[in-house]
Amino acid sequence: MKSLTTIVAALALGSIAFAADDKPAPPPGAPPHAEGDKKPRGGGDKPRMSPEEAFKKLDADNSGDLSLAEFKAGPRAQKDPAKAEEHYKKIDADNNGKVTLEEFKTGRSGGDRKGPKPE
């Protein structure tokens, strides 16, 4: 009888420890990944690509800069081409119609953005 009590106690402790590893469910109506569940940006389980990798992937002609067409061919731009074009124009700091890796990095991190471009 004593060994049966020991076994039941061990099973109870094991199930408590197992349940403690589970994350609590988000409250009803909360967006997915709420309550501190840190997923990579953009969803999914893949880690976020470095700016250099993303730039290289978008630079279809390997020219070292991105044209508007190359930028809009990217997966994020496909979701909202008008917004992508607006973003492209914001990150093209020297207004030459090409985005360099440095401009891309600045635009991706959100740093040093200027106001609307003069027409």
Average pLDDT over residues 108-114: 58
Q: Which of 39-48, 53-62, 77-86, 100-109 has the lowest mean pLDDT?
A: 39-48
> Which pair of structure tokens corresponds to residue 83?
């917004």
Half-sphere exposure of 25 (CA within 13 A, CB side): 3
Q: What is the pLDDT of residues 64-86, one digit of tens each?
A: 999 999 999 998 899 999 999 99
pLDDT exceeds cutoff 80 at 58: yes
Q: What is the pTM of this model?
A: 0.54
Chain center to CA of 14: 36
The amino acid at 105: K
Structural domains of the chain sorted by starting position, each given as residue range(s) with its CATH number in brackets: 51-109 (1.10.238.10)
Range list of β-strands (E), 4-115: 65-66, 99-100
Average pLDDT over residues 90-114: 84
Q: How many residues does the chain have?
A: 119
pLDDT exceeds cutoff 60 at 54: yes
